[in-house]
Amino acid sequence: MYDQNPVFIPGPTNIPQRLLGAMQIQTRDHRAPDFKDTFLPVLEDTKRVFGTTTGQVITFPASGTGGWEAAVSNTLSPGDTVLVARYGMFSHRWIDLCQRHGLDVQIIECPWGAGAPVEVFEAALKADINHKIKAVLVTHNETATGVKSDIAAVRGAIDAASHPALLFVDCVSSLASMPFEMDTWGVDIAVSGSQKGFMLATGLAILCVSPKALTAMETAKLPRTFFDFKDMMGANANGGFPYTPPLQLIYGLREALKMLFDEGLENVYARHHRLAEGVRRAAEAWGMKLCAASPDLYSDTVSAIYVPEGFDSNALTEHAYSAYGVSFGIGLGEMNGKAFRIGHLGALTDTMVLSGLATIEMAMADLDYPITLGSGVAAAQEYYRKSKGAAMSVAA
């Protein structure tokens, strides 16, 4: 049955049976006095995944886009200037959101396949002698291009400019899959969601907010109601929500955290790197290039792979789905028709990734791609066999 096949999109990710069970609960009273015994430890434990002891975790019933809106609307005022680089579809969408909120968006255009332009950020911040720029917005892991950016270096650029700007980071497709160090990197608001590294259904925006960002909230004038930090934190302090919470996702997050901590976060990150490297070896064996411009930019959660000249990547992903019942990521924005994406994050193992590589190879062979059937799978197999350690199953 095709619906039993794993997905290889960069989110939502495969949901382990253990988490499906955790989310399949009967309705419970979220105002009951014992709900706080479940909810408050979830907020506290999630801080470990963000890499913070000083930040405050805040959740909303939303996707990552809702998290972006919450970050912006709680800390900024109409007309404020924000500095953003556009190097993929998700940085582009964050720019669009800021413009719709009446912010003055200072955009740095970058090639798709590049990462955050640290030196350009630094120059722009040094030129802003009146400190009009209130926040720098960065996408940690650009899902459209398979590019990770150096967040610590961006904070270094802000500090080198002696600039007070806040640092907002979209870590939707990196958190709980790749290392994230909010305190060490000096991140002020980190935005993530339930549907990727946490291996849950979509519907819970998960943010972590620094003390500096909470201070900015006191003077922010953008309107917010549903996404009001103050309302949410006030209710959270007593173990509740200001409105009806997504109970199933909260119980699911409690179990997801147990799974991540049982495996060990360092082991989770090592597993993702291992899976990603196998995919990269496969792409090399096919004679295909990654969209990421250099190895230091390679994402460990998604690989965007250019198809050969004269081929349509959309036709490839459509054929893989219609012929074999397996989903791969389409090319987004400038990558549309030029590249497909293999998501390798969440509840995946060596064996599952090999099944995806074998499937996309069959689809490529069906469409007369210039590849040798089995070459990518063999390259990944060789790497998985010889690399140290084994990918630990999280699907139990």
* Strands 133-139 and 147-148, sheet pairing: unpaired
Residues 56 and 178 in one domain: yes
Confidence label for 390 from pLDDT (cuts 50, 70 and 90) = very low
The mean pLDDT of 56-60, rounded to a whole number, is 98
271 and 243 in a common domain: no
Q: Is the same domain home to 307 and 324?
A: yes
322/274 same-domain check: yes
Q: Is residue 173 part of a domain?
A: yes
Q: What tokens does 26 get?
A: 């009967």
Tell me the β-bridge partners of 84.
107, 137
Using the 3D structure, point to which of 240, 261, 282 is the last residue of a domain.
Answer: 261
Q: Report pLDDT for 3.
A: 66
pLDDT, tens only, 296-337: 999 999 999 999 999 999 999 999 999 999 999 999 999 999
8, 156: one domain: no
- According to the model, what pLDDT value does residue 4 have? 81
Does residue 160 carry a pLDDT above 50? yes
Q: DSSP readout, 281-312?
A: HHHHHTT--BSSSSGGGB-SSEEEEEPPTT--
In the chain, the number of structural domains is 2
Supply the range of the domain harboring residue 319.
2-12+265-386
Query: Which of 261, 283, 318 finishes a domain?
Result: 261
pLDDT, average across residues 287-291? 98
Where does a domain end: 210, 241, 261? Answer: 261
CATH of residue 181's domain is 3.40.640.10
391 domain-assigned: no
Q: What average pLDDT is seen over the chain?
A: 96
Q: Do the domain assignments include residue 394?
A: no
Pure H helices in 219-374: 229-236, 247-263, 265-285, 313-324, 350-366
Same structural domain, 142 and 255: yes
- CATH no. for residue 369? 3.90.1150.10
Residue 362 in any domain: the answer is: yes
pLDDT at 396 over 60: no
Is there a single domain that holds both residue 335 and residue 375?
Answer: yes
